[in-house]
Each structure stands twice: as structure tokens, then as C-alpha cells.
Amino acid sequence: MEKDSNLDEMVKKIQDSILEEEKDLYSAIVIDHAYNPRNIGNIKGADGVGIITGPCGDTLQIYLGIEDNKIVETKFLTDGCGASIACGSVITELVKGKTVGEASKIKSDELLSILDGLPEENVHCTVLSVNTLRSAIENYNLKKCNNEDIRSDNGN
Ligand code: FES
């Protein structure tokens, strides 16, 4: 029992010191979204799915639920760094309620400014997020076109 509490204390000390180091590198908003990510997960039967692996080898997945051309639900998954978790969390929050057209105009600079900046080596995480979002939107547009083709083939 004593051993467990010593171990817990040690783990807590290590976690606190990692967090202190991260506070020097990352803004409060990055740390908040990296440690408490919003919209983690996937959407079964999503209207649009984007899955992209960046040059760093990390993969981001974005899932969109769309109704009447509006993004009503978003989820993301990543095996990437803390910055990619923060980017996925912020971008999925940002697109909620936007039209597909509005969401496709989001740029990585916008994401970077919402995050209060990132260290140089993490800037590409914002690009990966925007590219994955665009890929999910392309996937949605493609599905929509295919459905319209099927409907017109059926004479509807
Ligand atoms: Fe690869 Fe951040 S997404 S380092």
C-alpha cells in the first residue's frame, strides 16, 4: 500500500514537471486542448471522412456530420503529438455550425492564431489539420455528387 502511494507521488511529480516544461513551450489554449481534447472519436456513417498522414508520420482523422450543407457534428482521432491533438480539437470546434463552404476556407494561419502560436517544429500540425478537414469536405462533396447521380439515374 505504502509502495503504491510512493509510486503515485513519483508519477505525479514527473507529470507536473512535464507540464511545467510544456507551459514554457505552448500557449495556455494549446495545453488546454491537448489535455482536454474536445470531439475525440469517430462518427459511424459520417457524411465526410478525411484521413491524412503528414510528413512527420502522424495521422489525423476528421469525421463530419452534415445536415442541409451545415456541419452539425465533428469528431477527430490522431496518433500524433500533443500539438496535433490540440489542432484536431480546435479545428473540430471551429467548424461546428459552419457551412461546408465556410469550413473549406479555413486556413492554417487562422488555426495558428487561435492557438496563440506553436513552436516552429509544430507549425506543420496546423497544416495537417486543415488538409484533413479539406479532405473530409471533398469526401462529402464526392458522396453528395454520387448520390445525386444515382438519383438522376433513377429518374428522381
Ligand atoms: Fe506530427 Fe504534430 S502532427 S508532429
Which residue's C-alpha comes closest to atom 4 of ligand 1?
81
Domain borders along the chain are 2-153
- pLDDT tens across 48-101, in order? 999 999 998 999 999 999 999 999 999 999 999 999 999 999 999 999 999 999
Instruction: Indicate the top mutation candidate among 125, 132, 133 to test ligand 1's pocket, ranked by most ligand atoms within 8 A of CB.
Output: 125
| Percent residues over pLDDT 70 in the chain | 96
Is 7's pLDDT higher than 90? no
- 78: closest CA among 44, 54, 104? 54
The alpha helices in the chain, defined as continuous H runs, are: 2-25, 28-35, 82-95, 100-104, 108-114, 123-153
**Amino acid at the residue 72:** V
The Cα 25–Cα 77 span in angstroms is 23
- The CATH topology of domain 2-153 is Sufe protein. Chain: A (3.90.1010)
User: Does an H or E element contain 52, and which?
Assistant: strand 48-53
